[in-house]
Structure 1
Amino acid sequence: MSQSNVVPWQPVENLVALDGILEPSVIVQKAVNLRPKERKQIISNFQLENYEMASSYVFTKSMALLKMNLASMGMDFIGELLQRPDIDADSDPAQAVSDYEAINIAYELGAINKTQRMRLLVSMETVNHFAGSFDANDDDADMLPEEALTCVKVCVQSVLGLEKVEAAQSFISFREKLSSTTLAAEDPDIVQLLSSPYFFKKTCVSILLNILKSAKGAALENGSRNTVTIVPRVWPDLNGPERWQIGQAYSELFNDGKSAAIKSLHGVLVTTGGFDYVPESLRSNSFTQAAHAVLVAHQGMNNFYNEPKPMKELAAMGSSIPGPAFSSVMTATLAVKLGNRYGVSWGAAQYADQILNNLSEERWIYYLTEQLPQDTLILSKLGNSECAVRWIELLSSSGISAPNTTNRLLGALLAESLKGDAAKSQVVSRNAISILT
């Protein structure tokens, strides 16, 4: 099979036609995954102006169904996609996977498109905000009917209105082959991988590393050979965080004395010149877990109240952030610092400042040029003009110079951010959304 005949894995386009429809009863009837009784209850809540109840119920049902569909591919596979070793085949998707993670995985696997992802993330933030408001005397704390309608519409379009949520089935099949057979260098699946979106390349690396760490017998032999064949070919396309992940895996395998797996990764690192990415210790695991705790608090209900404790613990771990954990720490820290459309947790922001104030210019530039283009959470925040203003204030006070980049949109975003002009927030937001989509 020639390369010209290979079609890269790409997101599918599923969309329930609801453009221009503003009547809740019409929208809800399209939700084929809800029982008639549930649809009637949602419509009744709209009629009674119980907008928060209606939108919260619909969003919760959507996330439950989305996670169930993702779990049908195997929770161990979901753990590989998220790089979460705590998730195994027996994990409960409702407990193990956050709403943000489910939405992002669904997009990356092609179950929803770019616009649906953006709207679902906005709906998540809106539902969580109103669910965490307990001031009975504040009329502004009530959800508006148009906010509820928007939430319900995107949930029906993206999840509840689809007969079945399909993902990248060909990639799932490829994942099985990585441990069941030894692939030739010009195998169509490998050629397909090389021309596919970045997500599939970094996920393939995660799957191979997981095979090296946990497989035995023939599965380990196949995984080792495929690692030597595939990783050097995707290495030039890998960003820093993924290269650090490979170096980290080598360190762990070396400490565990797994000679067969070590031999294959050693060959990869020699071929690619990747030994610079092998850490001296495994401190990074602790930093990564602490950063994850910050993001769980940030993306959940009552986030302004819950963020300070884990953010303080992350800041207390020291200013020398291990390379493999740097991307996770920066995402969590900037998420707290930028907040959301409703404001910032000032109690947590002071600890985020401790981390950011200790960053060298080199590390700032590394994040901005290597990680930011892939950091969907931070880019989605910059799409909001209020968060963009905070971003401009943060970068302009950092004292760093505009870094060189071949990414035109990223270059424009950074140039306007570093000028320190809050009036440029709309320009920053537009560029962030363009990079994200």
Structure 2
Amino acid sequence: MSEMIAPTGGAITPDESGVLGDLARFEATVRAELERVGLPSQDVFVDVHERAMMVSNVSGVLAPLAPAIRDRSHYISKMIAAATVGLFDAALNYLWDELVNELRQRVAGFDLSYFFDIAVGASELRKSLKTEDDLKKISDQNLLEASREIGLLTDVGFQRLDHVRYMRNHASAAHPNQVTLTGLDLAQWLQVCIREVITTPPDTVTAHTGKLLANIKKDRLDADAIRDAAVFFDQLPPDRAATLGNGFFGLYTAQNRTPVVADNVRTLWPKLWPFIDEDTRQSYGVRHARARASADTGVATAARELLDLVDGAAYLNADVRAAEISEALDALMSAHQGWNNFANELPAARRVANLAGDQGNIPEPVKAQYVSTLVKTFLGNNSGVSWAAAEIYKALLQQLDGGAAGRMLRSFMDPDVSYRLSSRIGQGQWRELLEIVEPKLTSQTDRALLDAIRAFSGTPDKLRLDTAITKKVKQRPH
């Protein structure tokens, strides 16, 4: 009789051999019962050696988890149980349930209102989001993206977890599939979830943000706290300053805000304003217009107060069309991020096209959102581009002027766009996007940037990491 080989490559010990034998006997018993009642018994269970591969790695993977965390990790128990009996697709589903549950707990322990403001902004859904239970109304992808935006996930962590989410949607029991999973796959994905969500503490900026938000809601800030906040704002990365600005905006325009919160936001808003980028500032004018258009007087009044506080009247939008375009873009992005997006994007894309008109004259306040949304939907996701709406996206992009083309050219600086450019599909779409952009560019600066992008030897998802490229990005067109 030949010697059995352990998952690690060495000879199987008597104990391991006994485990493999037990699993095989259990499988045989279940198969016999399935056949007895006339049900399929083939292609139901994963090979015993794959199960042993997963189980043999569990102890090491779980080692970083404190006993208190293990006590509450019921979905991990279900995952291991499902994997042990050979149901890897169900095991992956339980693993994802554990990840989502832990991430929701992290969000709840940070600041729910802040998270909801970042996750859904001023959409209609925001009005129904109040408690921890309402986190279930946030889609899994939106949960990941908003968690990254507020700093609960790193960029690398987001990419790894989004891959697990993709596999859960395409290789788990959640959806019909023919994808083969291995024991190492499950063990590695469990390790990713533990490292990136369960055991990783928030970074310094996130921790400081959480403390500041708690203080804003608790009592009026004294001079020392205000001075410390101003120093903190000066050290924020641009994207985190914009996120914090959106959070302050949401706190101030909330119907249930307290006088203490209102006073603190009014005090801090002028100090944060210099660090908020132009596109985000424009978005506040759009949110004011949307509130006016929907007769939401309280929100509109509060938004105007914040803009007036920093002499931001220039960001007010007199054209309600901009607000409608913004709402249509929100709906399009929701469809793009949702299930069965290839078909569901079409009605939302048609709505955007109707509002844009034949000439594609887009109001300045929503141009950044317009370009960003079209670029992302045009590039598609890991599964491809919406076959139903692809031609609409291309036509809308071709309508845009030279200024918008400059935005498209620089879109790779957005982490979300950069992530899409890491896939083969995204890279092919990016090359087509550059062909659309090229004839629209009129400035020497933009053309020099285009030449540098095309000459770049790496993959396009690495463009934003290249010093020479980013230097050209910052140069103003002339």
Which residue of 155, 161, 164 corresponds with 1:123?
Answer: 164
C-alpha displacement at 1:278, in angstroms?
2.2
Q: Equivalences for 1:7-406 in 2 at 5 Å? A: 23-26=56-59, 29-30=62-63, 32-33=69-70, 38-46=75-83, 50-82=87-119, 84-85=121-122, 86-87=125-126, 88-90=129-131, 92-130=133-171, 141-143=179-181, 147-160=185-198, 162=199, 168-178=206-216, 180-181=219-220, 184=223, 187-214=227-254, 215=257, 217=259, 219-227=261-269, 229-231=270-272, 234-235=273-274, 237-248=275-286, 256=297, 262=304, 265-269=307-311, 274-318=312-356, 319-369=360-410, 372-373=412-413, 375-398=414-437, 399-401=439-441
C-alpha displacement at 1:170, in angstroms?
2.8
Contact 1:193 1:201 in 2 (8 A): yes
Seen in structure 2, the aligned counterparts of structure 1 residues 201 and 146 have a Cα distance that, compared at 3 Å, is same
Matched letter for residue 242 of structure 2: K
Which residue of 409, 424, 430 corresponds with 2:462?
Answer: 430
Contact 2:148 2:158 in 1 (8 A): yes
Seen in structure 2, the aligned counterparts of structure 1 residues 242 and 40 have a Cα distance that, compared at 3 Å, is closer
Measured on the aligned residues, the alpha-carbon RMSD in Å equals 3.9
Higher RCO, Cα 8 Å, sep 6+: 1
SS in 1 for 2:355: coil
Seen in structure 2, the aligned counterparts of structure 1 residues 300 and 54 have a Cα distance that, compared at 3 Å, is farther
- Normalised by the size of structure 2, how large is the TM-score? 0.68
C-alpha displacement at 1:226, in angstroms?
3.1
C-alpha displacement at 1:116, in angstroms?
1.5
CA–CA distance in structure 2, aligned partners of residues 29 and 246 of structure 1? 45
Contact 1:129 1:302 in 2 (8 A): no
Contact 1:291 1:314 in 2 (8 A): yes
The aligned counterpart of 2:3 is none
Contact 2:289 2:323 in 1 (8 A): no
Seen in structure 2, the aligned counterparts of structure 1 residues 260 and 44 have a Cα distance that, compared at 3 Å, is closer
Larger radius of gyration: 2
SS in 1 for 2:366: helix
Q: Which runs of 5+ in 2 are unaligned?
A: 1-53, 468-478
C-alpha displacement at 1:416, in angstroms?
5.2
Seen in structure 2, the aligned counterparts of structure 1 residues 196 and 296 have a Cα distance that, compared at 3 Å, is same
Contact 2:453 2:463 in 1 (8 A): no
C-alpha displacement at 1:45, in angstroms?
4.0
Contact 1:182 1:222 in 2 (8 A): yes
CA–CA distance in structure 2, aligned partners of residues 242 and 165 of structure 1? 24
Contact 1:385 1:426 in 2 (8 A): no
Contact 1:55 1:127 in 2 (8 A): yes
Contact 1:292 1:328 in 2 (8 A): no
CA–CA distance in structure 2, aligned partners of residues 35 and 240 of structure 1? 44
What are the Cα deviations for residues 287-320 of structure 1, in whole angstroms up to 9, with x where unaligned?
3333333333333333334333333333333234
CA–CA distance in structure 2, aligned partners of residues 83 and 403 of structure 1? 36
User: How many residues get paired?
Assistant: 392
Seen in structure 2, the aligned counterparts of structure 1 residues 110 and 295 have a Cα distance that, compared at 3 Å, is same
Contact 2:148 2:154 in 1 (8 A): yes
CA–CA distance in structure 2, aligned partners of residues 135 and 102 of structure 1? 24
Contact 2:115 2:150 in 1 (8 A): no
Contact 1:402 1:418 in 2 (8 A): no
SS in 2 for 1:152: helix
Contact 1:28 1:43 in 2 (8 A): no
CA–CA distance in structure 2, aligned partners of residues 261 and 310 of structure 1? 27
Matched letter for residue 64 of structure 1: N
CA–CA distance in structure 2, aligned partners of residues 403 and 126 of structure 1? 43
SS in 1 for 2:381: coil
CA–CA distance in structure 2, aligned partners of residues 353 and 343 of structure 1? 15
Matched letter for residue 90 of structure 2: M
C-alpha displacement at 1:58, in angstroms?
0.7
SS in 1 for 2:388: helix
Seen in structure 2, the aligned counterparts of structure 1 residues 202 and 364 have a Cα distance that, compared at 3 Å, is same
Contact 1:307 1:345 in 2 (8 A): yes
SS in 2 for 1:347: coil
SS in 1 for 2:384: coil
The aligned counterpart of 1:7 is none
Contact 1:182 1:223 in 2 (8 A): no
Seen in structure 2, the aligned counterparts of structure 1 residues 417 and 60 have a Cα distance that, compared at 3 Å, is farther
C-alpha displacement at 1:147, in angstroms?
4.7
Seen in structure 2, the aligned counterparts of structure 1 residues 430 and 50 have a Cα distance that, compared at 3 Å, is farther
Matched letter for residue 126 of structure 1: M
CA–CA distance in structure 2, aligned partners of residues 27 and 291 of structure 1? 46
* Overall identity of the aligned pairs, in %: 18
Structure 1 runs (4+) greater than 6 angstroms displaced: 132-136, 163-167, 252-255, 257-261, 402-406
C-alpha displacement at 1:360, in angstroms?
1.2
C-alpha displacement at 1:44, in angstroms?
4.8
C-alpha displacement at 1:166, in angstroms?
8.4
Matched letter for residue 296 of structure 1: S
Q: Which runs of 5+ in 1 are unaligned?
A: 1-20
CA–CA distance in structure 1, aligned partners of residues 143 and 281 of structure 2? 25
CA–CA distance in structure 2, aligned partners of residues 135 and 221 of structure 1? 53
Seen in structure 2, the aligned counterparts of structure 1 residues 277 and 22 have a Cα distance that, compared at 3 Å, is farther
C-alpha displacement at 1:120, in angstroms?
1.0
C-alpha displacement at 1:73, in angstroms?
3.2
Matched letter for residue 266 of structure 1: D
C-alpha displacement at 1:429, in angstroms?
2.8
C-alpha displacement at 1:264, in angstroms?
5.6
C-alpha displacement at 1:392, in angstroms?
1.3
C-alpha displacement at 1:76, in angstroms?
1.7
- Normalised by the size of structure 1, how large is the TM-score? 0.73
